[in-house]
A = this chain, B = another copy of it.
């Protein structure tokens, strides 16, 4: 009877929002938890599970669901904000934001990371057309989103 006064309606918050199913943490991984959270949210955006202005659960909620510290979630959200993927406001919380190329100051970094990854494939002897094929196949699994006309 240790955790008795928990599980009131106070623990749920932000329209009783549960942590989405696409968020899965691998605790044994060498990838930091905050990085995993960040990557999976970006992936969820690409997969269409999250759209522009989609709400994300509160940091304390996610932390509670995974049994981790809310500061870890906060770090992921803050990173997403600095990258332009979400907006953060108090009380309202965390919302997905349509990141534009304008925000993408690290597009050179993206290209560099892609180049490093492709080089690794080449150094492995992977055929170039196979890699391109893999990229096309992977991209085809993402829904083809319509860019709204009011995007500026």
CA separation between A1 and B151, bound complex, in Å? Answer: 64
CA separation between A90 and B46, bound complex, in Å? Answer: 48
Of B107, B110, B121, which contacts A117 at CB under 8 A?
B110
Cross-chain contact B120 with A100 (CB below 8 angstroms): no
Cross-chain contact A131 with B125 (CB below 8 angstroms): no
The 10 A-B residue pairs whose C-beta atoms are closest, nearest first, are A46-B119, A46-B122, A45-B123, A43-B119, A128-B139, A46-B123, A42-B123, A122-B142, A115-B138, A99-B124
CA separation between A118 and B128, bound complex, in Å? Answer: 17
Query: A6 to chain B: which residues have CB within 8 Å?
Result: none
Check: A66 CB closer than 8 A to any chain B CB: no
Cross-chain contact B125 with A98 (CB below 8 angstroms): yes
A95 to chain B, nearest CB (A): 14
Of B47, B101, B128, B144, which contacts A119 at CB under 8 A?
B47
Query: A123 to chain B: which residues have CB within 8 Å?
Result: 42-43, 45-46, 85, 99
Query: A42 to chain B: which residues have CB within 8 Å?
Result: 116, 119-120, 123
Check: A147 CB closer than 8 A to any chain B CB: yes
Check: A126 CB closer than 8 A to any chain B CB: yes
Q: A106-149: which have CB < 8 Å to B?
A: 107, 110-111, 113-126, 128, 131-132, 134-136, 138-139, 142, 144-145, 147
